[in-house]
Structure 1
Amino acid sequence: MINKYLPQIKNGNSKQFFLMAGPCAIEGEDIALRIAEKIVNITDSLNIPFVFKGSYRKANRSRIDSFTGIGDEKALKILEKVGREFGVPTVTDIHESHEAAMAAAYVDILQIPAFLCRQTELLAAAAETGRVVNIKKGQFLSAESMAFAVDKVKDAGNEKVILTDRGNSFGYQDLIVDFRGIPMMRSFQVPTVMDCTHSLQQPNQTSGVTGGKPALIETIAKAAIAVGADGLFIETHPDPANAKSDGANMLHLDLLEGLMQKLTRIREAII
């Protein structure tokens, strides 16, 4: 099913970008279905291919008492239900090699977190499931260096790779986006995505809770589409202030439709 949604960039630009969106973490079935339904209605009306995202478990937290999940199997079954009920692909991140096969039984795309994008064994394990592998570019790496991550997946026998930029470390507590990375990573002949929410994180805050600049999500998204990104990654929630994970840099769900309308017009202008 996923091949229907991902543009074949070796044949030129797709007429439309695709959207990977959903909550940061799976908090429960009702809210996951509610978010998915709202996004499906928006993307269907604008003819935007949609992939529902949600972490079944959060492994990289600033504090040990931070929310990590509702239980692996429970969360993965919710992701499976979203995919089945709405007929859309789903994506979740994995953190260790042994998780690849488990998660692949429920979702269409396995995501490699940015901090783990050089972990050869993890990349190979994801590749060997046969699922699409979405690799987040490390904040500490250049776009050029992601060619090696792509090679690791392909050398493991899987050609289905996506690369996602999520900004570069800028000092100790901020990130900055270098949009030169989008065309560079597209030159590897894989779909390239801009993570419009994590790229606006402000990590390592003294409170132990990551901050963010959600007011700039639209700016990042517009620029990404303008430079040719194949897709956008956006975490969204109906109540970001009370989201259990990464609420500080999420887009309010009510703002998603207006943003997608603007981005669709930009896409039409550059094709």
Structure 2
Amino acid sequence: MSFSVSGKTAIVTGSASGIGLAIARHLVDKGANVMFADVDETKLEAEVGDEARAEGGVRMFSGDLTEKLTIANLLSATIDAFERVDILVNANRRTLVSDILNPEGDGVEELWRHNVLSALRISQMTAKRMIQHAQRAEVEPGTMLGSIINLSSIASQATRPELLAYSMASAAMDQMTRSLAVGLAPKGIRVNAVAFGSVMSASLQAALKEHPDFRDQITEATPLGRIAAPAELAEAVQFLASDASGFITGQVLTVDGGRGLLDVVCAPAH
């Protein structure tokens, strides 16, 4: 069984930059049709504008994905372009530092809405479209209809007060993944998550620029002794999106170089 995603159609949210962009680019390189979706139209235009206007497997959509109408429009645009949706990657996520004693500055409501609720709503609406397409195409019962992959973090298992909101959101993503997996399994839709540790994302690059000492702290806290490249995370996503993982659902795949096996409380949480 190969890890092929060739010919499949994917929506990747949060794909104007960083990890989301790396995942979307990787899927395109592997032969998938990809809708790049993000709130930042300027960055989308800079990254994929020319490709999206050409005849090919790349399209882009900009809008606030915390709004249900925007999600509906995204799905309609994807189906208009590619006729179906096979893969959803929920990479639309934020991180922030929490002021644990300040209800106005803890960030819980912001990350709950942006990281968790938006992923839940788009997963629900995408699953419905997958089911509707299968019904119209008279797909045989038991056929796998699609794969949903959520991005989570090893912060879900860590206890760091400054990451209160992010840790809570990540833990919620893990549980949402398991619940959706069980609920959608009878429909032929798999749901998994990738929980990552230190990946060279845009936010980590910025942090390393401001605090160069973070690099040594992170690598010392990671058994494999390095920071992952975004492509390594993208490859894990490809595996979960492909038929090679056809009997895998409800799982949180940890991609962290072994960092979660250690209890390094003082290490930077990126």
TM bucket, shorter chain = 0.3 to 0.5
Please report the TM-score for the alignment, with normalisation by the length of structure 1.
0.34
Please report the TM-score for the alignment, with normalisation by the length of structure 2.
0.34
Rg larger in 1 or in 2?
2
